[in-house]
Amino acid sequence: MVRQVLFILLLVLSPFFSAAQSDSTKAKPKLAEIELKSGKEYQGNIVRQDQEKLRLRQLDGTEIEISLDHIASINFISELDLVRRYAQTRYFFAPNAFSLKKGEAYYQNAWIFFNQVSVGLSDNFTLGMGTVPLFLFDPEVLGPLWITPKLCLPVIEDKMNVAVGGLYGTILGENVTFGITYASATFGNIDNNATVSIGYGVVDGEWADLPTFAFSGMVKAGHHTYLVTENYYIDGFLIMSFGGRTDFRKLSLDYGLMVPGEFEGFFLPWLGVTVPFKFNDPKKS
Protein backbone atom coordinates (compact mmCIF):
# COMPACT_ATOMS: atom_id res chain seq x y z
CA MET A 1 0.00 0.00 0.00
CA VAL A 2 2.82 2.39 0.91
CA ARG A 3 4.49 1.80 -2.46
CA GLN A 4 1.22 2.54 -4.24
CA VAL A 5 0.78 5.80 -2.32
CA LEU A 6 4.35 6.91 -3.06
CA PHE A 7 3.96 6.07 -6.76
CA ILE A 8 0.75 8.11 -7.02
CA LEU A 9 2.39 10.95 -5.11
CA LEU A 10 5.33 11.06 -7.52
CA LEU A 11 2.90 11.27 -10.43
CA VAL A 12 1.08 14.15 -8.76
CA LEU A 13 4.27 16.06 -7.93
CA SER A 14 6.22 15.56 -11.16
CA PRO A 15 4.65 18.44 -13.16
CA PHE A 16 5.27 20.83 -10.27
CA PHE A 17 8.93 19.85 -10.04
CA SER A 18 9.42 20.51 -13.75
CA ALA A 19 7.54 23.81 -13.51
CA ALA A 20 9.68 24.92 -10.59
CA GLN A 21 12.88 24.05 -12.44
CA SER A 22 11.92 25.96 -15.57
CA ASP A 23 10.66 28.90 -13.54
CA SER A 24 13.93 29.22 -11.62
CA THR A 25 15.70 30.48 -14.76
CA LYS A 26 13.40 33.50 -15.05
CA ALA A 27 14.06 36.86 -13.41
CA LYS A 28 11.95 37.34 -10.30
CA PRO A 29 10.32 40.67 -9.49
CA LYS A 30 11.66 42.34 -6.35
CA LEU A 31 9.83 43.89 -3.45
CA ALA A 32 11.21 46.37 -0.96
CA GLU A 33 10.87 45.43 2.69
CA ILE A 34 11.33 48.64 4.69
CA GLU A 35 11.85 48.68 8.45
CA LEU A 36 11.45 51.99 10.29
CA LYS A 37 13.43 53.04 13.34
CA SER A 38 10.18 52.68 15.30
CA GLY A 39 10.12 48.96 14.41
CA LYS A 40 7.19 49.20 11.98
CA GLU A 41 7.61 47.38 8.65
CA TYR A 42 6.22 48.04 5.17
CA GLN A 43 6.43 45.98 1.98
CA GLY A 44 5.84 47.05 -1.61
CA ASN A 45 7.45 48.59 -4.67
CA ILE A 46 9.36 51.87 -4.49
CA VAL A 47 7.60 54.18 -6.97
CA ARG A 48 9.75 57.27 -6.48
CA GLN A 49 12.62 58.41 -4.28
CA ASP A 50 14.55 61.63 -3.72
CA GLN A 51 17.04 62.84 -1.12
CA GLU A 52 14.36 63.31 1.57
CA LYS A 53 11.66 60.70 1.10
CA LEU A 54 10.42 57.79 -0.95
CA ARG A 55 6.99 56.76 -2.18
CA LEU A 56 6.01 53.12 -1.66
CA ARG A 57 3.18 51.24 -3.38
CA GLN A 58 2.10 48.63 -0.80
CA LEU A 59 0.84 45.13 -1.50
CA ASP A 60 -2.79 46.27 -1.24
CA GLY A 61 -2.21 48.97 -3.88
CA THR A 62 -2.20 51.97 -1.52
CA GLU A 63 0.73 54.39 -1.70
CA ILE A 64 2.48 56.06 1.21
CA GLU A 65 5.39 58.47 1.59
CA ILE A 66 8.16 57.65 4.05
CA SER A 67 10.84 60.06 5.22
CA LEU A 68 14.34 58.65 4.72
CA ASP A 69 15.24 59.88 8.22
CA HIS A 70 12.71 57.41 9.65
CA ILE A 71 14.09 54.35 7.82
CA ALA A 72 16.32 51.87 9.62
CA SER A 73 16.84 49.46 6.70
CA ILE A 74 15.67 48.59 3.18
CA ASN A 75 15.88 44.99 1.95
CA PHE A 76 14.80 43.62 -1.40
CA ILE A 77 12.94 40.30 -1.53
CA SER A 78 11.08 38.40 -4.21
CA GLU A 79 7.32 37.92 -4.15
CA LEU A 80 7.94 34.19 -4.01
CA ASP A 81 10.02 34.56 -0.85
CA LEU A 82 7.20 36.59 0.71
CA VAL A 83 4.61 33.90 -0.08
CA ARG A 84 6.96 31.21 1.21
CA ARG A 85 7.45 32.93 4.56
CA TYR A 86 3.72 33.26 5.18
CA ALA A 87 2.76 29.71 4.21
CA GLN A 88 5.51 28.05 6.24
CA THR A 89 3.79 28.64 9.59
CA ARG A 90 1.79 25.42 9.10
CA TYR A 91 1.68 22.22 7.07
CA PHE A 92 -1.52 21.26 5.21
CA PHE A 93 -3.59 22.26 8.24
CA ALA A 94 -1.60 21.37 11.35
CA PRO A 95 0.40 24.27 12.79
CA ASN A 96 4.10 24.28 13.52
CA ALA A 97 5.90 26.45 16.08
CA PHE A 98 6.67 29.32 13.67
CA SER A 99 4.58 32.49 13.85
CA LEU A 100 3.53 35.18 11.45
CA LYS A 101 5.11 38.56 12.15
CA LYS A 102 3.00 41.45 13.35
CA GLY A 103 0.96 42.80 10.44
CA GLU A 104 1.29 39.67 8.29
CA ALA A 105 -1.77 37.64 7.36
CA TYR A 106 -2.99 34.99 4.94
CA TYR A 107 -6.21 33.50 3.65
CA GLN A 108 -6.33 29.70 3.34
CA ASN A 109 -8.84 27.73 1.32
CA ALA A 110 -8.99 23.94 1.05
CA TRP A 111 -11.50 21.69 -0.67
CA ILE A 112 -13.28 24.91 -1.83
CA PHE A 113 -15.47 25.10 1.28
CA PHE A 114 -12.85 25.22 4.05
CA ASN A 115 -11.92 28.85 4.78
CA GLN A 116 -9.57 30.40 7.32
CA VAL A 117 -7.87 33.77 7.82
CA SER A 118 -4.80 33.98 10.08
CA VAL A 119 -3.14 37.20 11.24
CA GLY A 120 0.02 38.03 13.17
CA LEU A 121 -1.07 40.15 16.13
CA SER A 122 2.55 40.23 17.32
CA ASP A 123 5.79 38.62 16.18
CA ASN A 124 5.03 35.64 18.44
CA PHE A 125 1.22 35.42 18.47
CA THR A 126 -0.95 34.34 15.54
CA LEU A 127 -4.75 34.25 15.61
CA GLY A 128 -6.89 32.50 13.01
CA MET A 129 -10.63 32.32 12.34
CA GLY A 130 -12.29 29.80 10.06
CA THR A 131 -15.58 28.36 8.89
CA VAL A 132 -17.22 25.91 6.51
CA PRO A 133 -20.44 27.40 5.01
CA LEU A 134 -22.73 24.38 5.33
CA PHE A 135 -25.75 26.66 4.86
CA LEU A 136 -25.04 26.46 1.12
CA PHE A 137 -26.32 22.85 1.29
CA ASP A 138 -28.83 23.11 4.13
CA PRO A 139 -30.26 26.54 5.12
CA GLU A 140 -31.02 25.22 8.61
CA VAL A 141 -27.37 24.34 9.32
CA LEU A 142 -25.06 27.37 9.32
CA GLY A 143 -21.89 25.37 9.85
CA PRO A 144 -18.93 25.44 12.24
CA LEU A 145 -17.04 28.57 13.26
CA TRP A 146 -13.67 28.35 15.05
CA ILE A 147 -10.65 30.34 16.19
CA THR A 148 -7.02 29.17 16.32
CA PRO A 149 -4.78 31.09 18.74
CA LYS A 150 -1.07 30.16 18.71
CA LEU A 151 1.76 31.51 20.88
CA CYS A 152 5.25 30.72 19.56
CA LEU A 153 8.55 31.02 21.40
CA PRO A 154 11.96 30.57 19.74
CA VAL A 155 14.35 28.43 21.80
CA ILE A 156 17.35 28.13 19.46
CA GLU A 157 17.22 30.20 16.26
CA ASP A 158 16.72 28.04 13.14
CA LYS A 159 16.95 24.91 15.28
CA MET A 160 14.08 24.73 17.77
CA ASN A 161 10.81 26.58 18.44
CA VAL A 162 7.97 25.69 20.80
CA ALA A 163 4.32 26.71 20.73
CA VAL A 164 1.08 26.36 22.63
CA GLY A 165 -2.31 26.92 21.09
CA GLY A 166 -5.64 25.46 20.23
CA LEU A 167 -8.66 25.26 18.00
CA TYR A 168 -11.94 26.24 19.67
CA GLY A 169 -15.28 26.45 17.94
CA THR A 170 -19.00 25.95 17.83
CA ILE A 171 -21.57 24.82 15.29
CA LEU A 172 -23.69 27.87 14.55
CA GLY A 173 -27.35 27.28 15.24
CA GLU A 174 -26.59 24.17 17.31
CA ASN A 175 -25.77 23.82 20.99
CA VAL A 176 -22.41 22.17 20.28
CA THR A 177 -18.90 23.29 21.19
CA PHE A 178 -15.62 21.59 20.34
CA GLY A 179 -11.90 22.18 20.51
CA ILE A 180 -8.40 20.95 21.13
CA THR A 181 -5.55 22.41 23.20
CA TYR A 182 -2.04 21.46 22.10
CA ALA A 183 1.68 21.97 22.65
CA SER A 184 4.20 21.66 19.80
CA ALA A 185 7.95 21.55 19.30
CA THR A 186 9.45 22.28 15.87
CA PHE A 187 13.00 21.23 15.03
CA GLY A 188 14.81 22.85 12.09
CA ASN A 189 14.43 26.05 10.12
CA ILE A 190 11.48 27.50 8.23
CA ASP A 191 12.27 25.51 5.05
CA ASN A 192 13.27 22.13 6.50
CA ASN A 193 11.66 21.07 9.75
CA ALA A 194 9.75 18.47 11.73
CA THR A 195 7.08 19.08 14.37
CA VAL A 196 5.77 16.85 17.15
CA SER A 197 2.56 17.81 18.93
CA ILE A 198 0.35 16.53 21.70
CA GLY A 199 -3.18 17.74 22.35
CA TYR A 200 -6.37 16.99 24.21
CA GLY A 201 -9.75 17.36 22.55
CA VAL A 202 -12.95 18.57 24.19
CA VAL A 203 -16.60 18.36 23.10
CA ASP A 204 -19.35 20.15 25.05
CA GLY A 205 -17.04 20.56 28.02
CA GLU A 206 -16.00 16.90 28.22
CA TRP A 207 -12.29 16.26 27.69
CA ALA A 208 -10.98 13.23 25.85
CA ASP A 209 -9.58 10.38 27.92
CA LEU A 210 -6.55 9.97 25.65
CA PRO A 211 -4.36 12.56 23.94
CA THR A 212 -4.01 13.11 20.20
CA PHE A 213 -0.50 12.96 18.76
CA ALA A 214 0.68 14.60 15.55
CA PHE A 215 3.91 14.35 13.59
CA SER A 216 4.45 16.64 10.62
CA GLY A 217 7.37 17.76 8.52
CA MET A 218 8.54 19.44 5.34
CA VAL A 219 11.67 19.31 3.21
CA LYS A 220 12.66 21.77 0.52
CA ALA A 221 12.78 19.77 -2.72
CA GLY A 222 13.18 22.55 -5.31
CA HIS A 223 13.64 26.29 -5.62
CA HIS A 224 10.01 26.91 -4.66
CA THR A 225 8.74 23.38 -3.99
CA TYR A 226 8.48 21.38 -0.77
CA LEU A 227 7.58 17.83 0.24
CA VAL A 228 5.06 17.85 3.10
CA THR A 229 3.71 15.18 5.43
CA GLU A 230 1.11 15.53 8.18
CA ASN A 231 0.08 12.59 10.38
CA TYR A 232 -2.24 12.05 13.36
CA TYR A 233 -2.64 9.28 15.92
CA ILE A 234 -6.09 9.51 17.56
CA ASP A 235 -7.14 6.84 20.06
CA GLY A 236 -5.49 4.00 18.14
CA PHE A 237 -6.48 5.36 14.72
CA LEU A 238 -3.77 6.59 12.32
CA ILE A 239 -4.31 9.25 9.62
CA MET A 240 -1.40 9.86 7.26
CA SER A 241 -0.92 12.44 4.53
CA PHE A 242 1.77 12.98 1.92
CA GLY A 243 2.11 15.73 -0.66
CA GLY A 244 3.81 18.95 -1.56
CA ARG A 245 3.70 22.72 -1.72
CA THR A 246 4.63 25.03 -4.58
CA ASP A 247 4.99 28.80 -4.19
CA PHE A 248 3.85 31.04 -7.03
CA ARG A 249 4.06 34.84 -7.25
CA LYS A 250 0.78 35.59 -5.50
CA LEU A 251 -0.16 32.35 -3.73
CA SER A 252 1.03 29.02 -2.41
CA LEU A 253 -0.52 25.74 -3.62
CA ASP A 254 -0.79 22.63 -1.42
CA TYR A 255 -1.56 19.21 -2.91
CA GLY A 256 -1.45 15.68 -1.59
CA LEU A 257 -3.21 12.53 -0.42
CA MET A 258 -4.74 11.71 2.96
CA VAL A 259 -4.65 8.01 3.84
CA PRO A 260 -6.65 6.64 6.81
CA GLY A 261 -4.48 3.84 8.21
CA GLU A 262 -7.21 1.21 8.60
CA PHE A 263 -8.77 1.67 5.14
CA GLU A 264 -6.66 -0.36 2.76
CA GLY A 265 -6.50 1.21 -0.70
CA PHE A 266 -8.57 4.29 0.25
CA PHE A 267 -7.21 7.82 0.04
CA LEU A 268 -8.62 11.33 -0.08
CA PRO A 269 -7.00 14.06 -2.23
CA TRP A 270 -6.01 17.36 -0.63
CA LEU A 271 -5.89 20.63 -2.56
CA GLY A 272 -5.56 24.03 -0.97
CA VAL A 273 -4.27 27.56 -1.60
CA THR A 274 -2.76 30.20 0.67
CA VAL A 275 -2.94 33.89 -0.30
CA PRO A 276 -0.77 36.27 1.78
CA PHE A 277 -1.61 39.90 2.54
CA LYS A 278 -0.62 42.70 4.92
CA PHE A 279 -2.75 44.80 7.23
CA ASN A 280 -0.27 47.49 8.28
CA ASP A 281 -1.62 50.94 9.06
CA PRO A 282 -1.43 52.81 5.71
CA LYS A 283 -0.93 56.19 7.41
CA LYS A 284 2.09 58.23 6.44
CA SER A 285 5.17 57.66 8.53
> Mean pLDDT over residues 134-150, rounded?
86
Q: Which numeric CATH code is attached to 2-26+79-278?
A: 2.40.160.40
Which has the higher per-residue pLDDT, 4 or 190? 190
Domain ranges for the chain: 2-26+79-278
Task: Please provide the DSSP assignment of the chain as one string.
Answer: -HHHHHHHHHHHHHHHHHHHHHHTTSPPPEEEEEEETTS-EEEEEEEEE-SSEEEEEETTS-EEEEEGGGEEEEEEEEHHHHHHHHHTTBSSSSB-S--PPTTEEEEEEETTTEEEEEEESSSSEEEEEEE--GGGT-TT--EEEEEEEEEEEEEETTTEEEEEEEEEEEEETSS-EEEEEEEEEEEE-SSSEEEEEEEEEEETTEEPSS-EEEEEEEEE-SSSEEEEEEEEEETTEEEEEEEEEEE-SS-EEEEEEEEETTSTT--EEEEEEEEEEE----S--
Q: What's the mean per-residue pLDDT of the chain?
A: 85
Residue 183 has pLDDT above 90, yes or no: yes
Closest CA relative to residue 249, chosen from 47, 29, 41:
29
> Mean pLDDT over residues 176-189, rounded?
96
- This prediction's pTM: 0.74
* Res 7: pLDDT: 40
* Res 280: pLDDT: 59
Residue 24 has pLDDT above 50, yes or no: no
Residue 2 has pLDDT above 50, yes or no: no
Residues 202-259 have pLDDT tens digits of: 999 999 999 999 999 999 998 889 999 999 999 888 999 999 999 987 899 999 999 9
Give percent of the chain above pLDDT 70: 86
* Res 14: pLDDT: 43
* Res 26: pLDDT: 42
Residues 6+ apart with CB under 8 A from 270: 92, 110, 111, 241, 243, 254, 255, 256, 257, 258
* Res 28: pLDDT: 45
Name the pLDDT band for 44 (thresholds 50, 70, 90): confident
Residue 82 has pLDDT above 80, yes or no: no
> Mean pLDDT over residues 116-121, rounded?
95
